[in-house]
Amino acid sequence: MRTQIDFSHAFGFPHRLTVCLPSDGFKLLADVNDDQITLSWSDGDLTKVPFGAFAWPRIDWIINVSATENGEPMKTTAYQRYQNRYPALECTLSGNSASIHTFTAPCRDAMAMRITAANTGNEPVELDINALSKHFCFNLLWMEEDARYNALLPHMNERADRVLAFCIGGDDIKPKKVRQARMGVTLAPGEERVLYLVIPRKITFDSLEERTSRDWDAEIEWGLSKWAAIFEQASKIELPDKMIEDAFYACFADIFVMRERAIEGYIGGVAGSDMYRATNTVEPTIASQILASFGFLNISSEMVDILMLFQEPNGRWDDVRVWGHHILWTQMYRMHFYIRYYELTGDKNSLKIPMERMAAHCRYIKNARNKTKITDENGEKVLYYGMLPRSMGDGGLMDGDDYFGHFYMASVAHCQTLKDVIYAAKVLNQPEIVAELQPELDDLWACTYEAMQRGSIEEDGYRWIPAVPGKTSGSRFGAVLPFMEGVDLISPFDPLAEGTMRHLTRTRSEGGVPVDLGWMKGGLWVAMALDQIARGHIARGEIDEAAAYLPITLNHGTPLFTWCEERMPEPGATKITGDIQHTFTPNALMQFIRDGLVTEKGNMLHIARMLPREWMADGEHIHIEDIRTDFGDVSYTLKRKGSTLLFDFTHKPGHIPLESIFLHVRTPDKVTPKLSGAKPEGDGLLIPLTGDALHAEISLS
């Protein structure tokens, strides 16, 4: 089908792709600009950073790659990931009659940029490809007239024999600047030449003879094969919109980009590629849940298990010693991961230690929460009566101009944590834990809901949930959480839920994203539109509104399928926050697509529940293979042929029996699905399942 994705609302340059081998600590940041590619990297990795510290391997080296045609600068005209999926960068710089196509990819012990220079004109052209170091470096050719190698060596902050980068090829390689590695070529009409810029993992100039004689095309293919193995192991999905399908796999690859070896041999996950390249407790935990659903159960818990190292003697198990400081909502994600891991595997043993640790944390919070059950000078309950203690907000949450406050998000998230611990205790047959924590859940939610009623903001005849009771300051992060599916603390049609959704969506950018969701006044936190507002619509049965956020999210990213954390709303926005390759948005996109393809609700599996209607137009098909669900591994094909919808379903049973499926028939045209033995209901069919396979031809009248 014709794609809806054109990146028309991407933020401004640079657009970043992190290039590396899977789960490797040697990472190259490749930033596309309008006239050059900036390559930057660190000699450090997470093995040298205390776990959880908001500290990251600082950028040590930066090289800008540009080109000229007959002395005139060449401009960036196209760029994308390799095959639109791999974390390898293709970028083309063009002049009047020549082009420089660069391909930057990970290799065995280096990063290599293959440069294909081509003259498509009718006259000879002189091209200069320049690799200019931002740091004070010397080119061997500048230092030694008879030097054999076109290589950059540092002047300070490193050994003098260290090789930062070297070039292979070129007719004229004499540098014009001391910090420059240069490759000049003269091309006849129709001529094409291949050259290389290589950034090796730490080597000295003694290694240059061997390195410059290598087959760098073979080295690039070796690196790409490691990513091909990841894609081969992952569950397969085919979508009518190939751009969204590519985006899914690109984002999936970036889970492995954002993993690396951390302290004590653990694998840690990070939230970004530069200043967020620090182990934290939220984004990697969300990514772990995605890994579990798409073929990587064996390693899915690695980035979460490291959190077992950090719990206080009093039971506290939040971010008090890591970069979240006193945020009291982050632990919701880790407990929910272990719940989902159990539901996907049936492994009760995997629940035991997390349940015990989080139950201890819940006891700590209960004692801390008693301190908020106070009255004011008039004997009235304070607005935050019975909520969680004052804590850090993050996510743009503010109490006036204070980063710390009695945030609704913290209390609601802890309600979800209590629900998950109680669920785990029931699975593990520990009724004493249930009896202990159920009254705490009931009391916390009663206090929080009362605080929401008293502290909501009345506006234009409706009331909405702010960040803290009684104040309009800060972001709307977490406002939808109480009525999202799976949390279900209030009805999505409760007046507070109605008013909150109305308030959140009242002002949208030109590109369709609600504003003021995060830190930036008038700005966009694109991830929250898909991760939370769309989920609010889903809870309310407003599926079309939710599905619309999928192309909107992609159009606010870059052609590399990367997103900054937050940005201003205009296309080409230059004012942004956080990393320019942040992981919350790709995680939200993958989870949305997964839940659109398969969603577990109780003892029923929902198929194609919240996908764009255009995906069931005539001639389109959806195909998945081996997505892990609570009921085992599921594969299916949906194919529309005129007035018939072909449905083939297979299922490898898991620990929970699957007796029926609900097939959502969401088409762009108005049809009534009919299938003998199936019950029409809502927008689809309730289909009983008598075996592990099903073939159905559904009439669309």
CATH of the domain at 657: 2.60.420.10
Average pLDDT over residues 381-401: 96
656, burial (CB in 10 Å: exposed 0-12, middle 13-18, buried 19+): middle
* Residue 617 counted as domain residue: yes
**Residue 444, number of CB atoms within 10 A of its CB:** 23
* Residue 433 counted as domain residue: no
Q: Is the pLDDT assigned to residue 70 strictly greater than 90?
A: yes
Structural domain ending residue among the three candidates 228, 258, 287: 228
- Write b or e for each residue in 215-232: b if 16 or more Cβ atoms lie within 10 A of its Cβ, otherwise e: ebeebbeebbebbeebee
* Residue 461 counted as domain residue: no
pLDDT band of residue 2 (cuts 50, 70, 90) is low
Please state, rounded to an integer, the average pLDDT across all residues of the chain: 96
Q: Are 407 and 468 in contact (CB under 8 A)?
A: yes
Q: Is the pLDDT assigned to residue 150 strictly greater than 80?
A: yes
Question: In whole angstroms, what is the distance from residue 171 CA to residue 146 CA?
Answer: 16
Q: What digits encode the pLDDT tens for the residues 189-226?
A: 999 999 999 999 999 999 999 999 999 999 999 999 99
Structural domain ending residue among the three candidates 192, 208, 228: 228
* Residue 509 counted as domain residue: no
18, burial (CB in 10 Å: exposed 0-12, middle 13-18, buried 19+): buried
With both helix axes pointing from N to C terminus, report the angle between 584-597 and 283-293 in degrees, rounded to the nearest 10: 30
Residue 175: which CATH number? 2.70.98
* Token pair in block for residue 544: 């079309």
DSSP letter assigned to residue 582: B
The per-residue pLDDT for 68 is 98
Determine what percent of the chain is predicted with pLDDT higher than 70.
Answer: 100
* Token pair in block for residue 404: 């710390």
* Token pair in block for residue 695: 């073939």
* Residue 624 counted as domain residue: yes
DSSP letter assigned to residue 162: B
pLDDT band of residue 3 (cuts 50, 70, 90) is low
Domain assignment of residue 672, given as a range: 602-700
* Residue 642 counted as domain residue: yes
Contact partners, residue 157, CB within 8 Å, separation at least 6: 60, 135
pLDDT band of residue 616 (cuts 50, 70, 90) is very high
Q: Are 59 and 35 in contact (CB under 8 A)?
A: no
Average pLDDT over residues 456-485: 96
Q: Is the pLDDT assigned to residue 1 strictly greater than 90?
A: no
Q: Is the pLDDT assigned to residue 433 strictly greater than 90?
A: yes
Structural domain ending residue among the three candidates 207, 228, 249: 228
Average pLDDT over residues 673-689: 95
pLDDT band of residue 51 (cuts 50, 70, 90) is confident
**How many domains is the chain partitioned into structurally?**
2
* Residue 402 counted as domain residue: no
* Residue 99 counted as domain residue: yes
